[in-house]
Amino acid sequence: MFGKSVAPSKVPTDIVIPFRFFDDTPLWKAFILYSMFVFDDVLDAEKLRDSLEKLARHDGWNKLGARMRKDNQGNLEYHVPIEFTEERRPLTYSHITHNMSASDHPIASKIPNPSSRPSVVCDPDDFRELFRPEGGPIRLEDYLNRDIPQLGLHIVSFTDKTLVIIYWPHTLMDAMGKKALMDAWMLMLQGRDDEIIPPQGGDGDPLADLGKSPTEAHKLASQRLSMFGLAQYGISNVLDLFRTQEHRMVCIPGAFVESLRNEAIGELTANGTEDPFLSEGDVICAWWTRLAVSHLPHATQKTVVLNNAYSLRKSLETDLLPKGAPYVSNAIGFINVLLPVQYIFEKPLSYIAAATRNAINELGSRSQVEAFSALWRESSGKIPPFFGDGSMHMITYSNWSKAKLFETDFSAAVITSGKEGGRSGLPTYIQNNQFGLVLPNGFPIIGKDNDGNFWLSGYMNKGLWGRIEEQLANV
């Protein structure tokens, strides 16, 4: 009863596909992701299910329904049923119906609405009873020890709202891979399956040679953490992994972001920068960094590392990942900005935002992506390279704005529209939850909603969110 779980027997007829190099890494194996989309409409759950199952059966998309196994060397591999059946379905599916409005439900009634000023609006973990179906996977072993597909779909229906939740191990895909999935799902739902393009790579690995032919050193190579530095950083931060982490969602009105951006660009222009450019993401990260490190002594020289997750697709579109077909896997690098705490508070916001933009321009080039990937390949245990020092404070950002998740259009599944005079079938709220590794000071920017508001969430040590709320009250 209490023995070690045993993986299901392998099915001889399954198609076996080795994991791609940059999918089978300790980092991605540590996360199981749940993404909840809230629609203010009553949606047809069976239409959503049928269209997603059809996608998993569509040419090139069958990996969604693959089972996860290990080979004799312990490497991960996909086992794709040669045919999906009632016993071995292309996705895990569940549906719960509540014969009440969401506003009358004790938990769903807390789903936030946009705020008129930057505000902490909820704890996304409070909705766990809604977004995680009974027995839903929370660790990689749940996939290895069960005969379940990579992709799960859970739908919760109210008389005035529908929650659509997809869940998967991070080894399957990143945020831009999820965008490709959602785009293909929409086409299938709309009966436009002839327009669905198979993902790049088929059963092979388009990034098999990435990082094998660097032509230059990584620009931060001299600041790369050694094994000793990594150990020092680990010792300095190990307590964070055992401290209580608090999860919060923040709504940032678009007008506020635009005001910050205009102010920052004005500062750069006044300082002589010709035709300065800053994205909304650059400005959000700069502004949020000040809040996220506000508990640190402001005059210290302690290094803060802004660790920005970055899709490699654009950098690789000239060779390994050409335009025209989606890449449904992980193609992520990390772009780092190193600043002393003192600079974050003494320098203007434009300084931090420009440092982020400059790093993206420099470290996001094709040659620097090759150099970064080479460091990742040569690292012990396939751990991505870290830059900084052993006593640094690291903040990780992952900006999903380009995935345009709020443009997910499920209008073809609308039974009853909740929008009067507005466009139905679009999500009004999206959140992401993770099981497995909880990364302190890790902040995904979910994106911009259809009213122009930005949504950002993350985990911090208990008590720090309270300090941030106090500061936001004065914005």
Q: Which token pair is 80?
A: 């794709």
Quote the tokens at residue 406: 């709020």
Please pick, among 154, 170, 218, 393, the residue that the annotation labels catalytic.
170
Taking the C-alpha atoms of residue 166 and residue 185, their distance in angstroms, rounded to an integer, is 12
413 three-class SS: helix
What is the Cα–Cα distance from 38 to 50, expressed in whole angstroms? 19
Strands (E), 170-222: none
Listed residue (122, 113, 130) closest to 167, CA to CA: 130
Distance CA(221)–CA(327), nearest Å, equals 29
Q: What is the DSSP letter of 44?
A: -
Q: Give, in order, the Cα–Cα distances in Å from 364 to each of 94, 312, 330, 370, 399.
A: 41, 8, 16, 10, 15
Measured distance CA(302)–CA(393) in Å, rounded? 8
Q: Catalytic: 170?
A: yes
Contact by Cβ (8 Å): 272, 310: no
Other beta carbons within 10 Å of 85: 9
Helix or strand holding residue 359 (H, E): helix 349-363
Helix intervals (H) in 190-299: 227-242, 254-270, 280-292
Q: 153, 93 in Cβ contact below 8 A? A: yes
228: Cβ contacts below 8 Å, ≥ 6 apart: 390
d(CA 155, CA 166): 9
Which of 102, 164, 124, 101 shows the shortest CA–CA distance to 427? 164
205 is catalytic: no
Q: Cα angle at 301 between 233 and 217, to 5 degrees? A: 60
**Residue 285, SS3 per DSSP:** helix
Q: Which residues are catalytic?
A: 170, 409
